[in-house]
Amino acid sequence: MTQVFLSRVASTLVLWTAVLWTIFSGYEIGFFALLSAVGMAALWEFYRMLDHKRLPNFKGVGMLCGAVMLGGSFYYYRSLGPSQSYDWEMISLLGFLLTVFTRQIFKGLQEVSPLPTMAFTLFGLLYVIWMFNFLNKIVYLLPRTPDHQVTGQFYVLYLIVVTKFSDMGAYLTGTVIGKHKMVPHISPKKTWEGFFGALAFSLLGSYGMYWRMPNHLHWLNWTHATILGLVLGFAAIVGDLAESILKRSTDTKDSGHFLPGIGGALDLIDSLLFTAPLLFFYLRSIIGVG
């Protein structure tokens, strides 16, 4: 137990050190490297979970497509911004389809039905890489400073804090006072008390971030902080339950061992996969950024 606790503390310190240094330094290559490492590790874990259940997939093709999308997105978002990179994203999604179908054509119709193989491969790319890539979009959605420095990374920090506060609130509240099961067929430990605790903590995290960093988050106000605290908190819960469905479907407890004491990369970002797109569209469609 002590070793697990120490491993968790060490992993948490290393992870937050890397995240905070990348965000406050504004080092774009560093952010891309960190994003890509976590995203590709999560995608690998997703396919390994399928392998554990003997569900067919084109792991190699999926990893190649994921790397191409992350690398190309960074180039286009950095050069043009996400609002002008719509064509690249559509080309990427079309490329996923063409590549997976081409791989199946050369494999033939042997043993396993081709439809599940292609479907599982494509689902991993959409669920992990496409959704996680919204963090990259958020960085470049916000205007640069007069000296050409990015500013969107502070909204990524805001997103991470609010999302993780939701996770923490669900765990603490559910552990201390949780009695009423929420969705026992998916996750027996989730409770309604934990659900409302998650919303309360995510709201607290949203207020705290805006209060402490008003200059870095100047596109927000207290109303936006309230709405986003609740919306992102709810989305974080859905994201956590979504991965629980995957784990239960593949008979796995953790997605992997990317971070000792914490679990896999997919365990780490499962909630962010749902909160990142919502923050991006809220900034762009409701606030009018970009």
| Residue-by-residue DSSP string for 158-210 | HHHHHHHHHHHHHHHHHHHH--SEEETTTEEEEEHHHHHHHHHHHHHHHHHHH
Report d(CA 290, CA 284) in Å as an integer: 6
Number of domains the chain is built from:
1
Does the global pTM surpass 0.85? Answer: yes
The model's pLDDT over 193-230, given as tens digits with 9 standing for 90+, comes to 989 999 999 999 999 999 999 999 999 999 999 999 99
The model's pLDDT over 137-183, given as tens digits with 9 standing for 90+, comes to 999 999 999 988 999 999 999 999 999 999 999 989 988 887 888 88
Lowest mean pLDDT among 33-47, 83-97, 101-115: 101-115
Average per-residue pLDDT in the chain?
90
Distant-in-sequence, close-in-space partners of 136: CB < 8 Å, separation ≥ 6:
32, 35, 70, 73, 74, 77
Residue 258: pLDDT over 90: no
Q: In which domain, by residue range, is 91 found?
A: 2-287
Q: Supply the pLDDT for residue 236.
A: 96
Determine what percent of the chain is predicted with pLDDT higher than 90.
67
Report d(CA 255, CA 111) in Å as an integer: 27
Residue 260: pLDDT over 70: no
Q: Supply the pLDDT for residue 228.
A: 98
Report d(CA 35, CA 129) in Å as an integer: 10
Contact 46, 128 (CB under 8 A): yes
Residue 4: pLDDT over 60: no
The model's pLDDT over 82-100, given as tens digits with 9 standing for 90+, comes to 878 889 989 999 999 999 9
Q: Supply the pLDDT for residue 25.
A: 87
Per-residue pLDDT band for 8 (boundaries 50, 70, 90) equals low
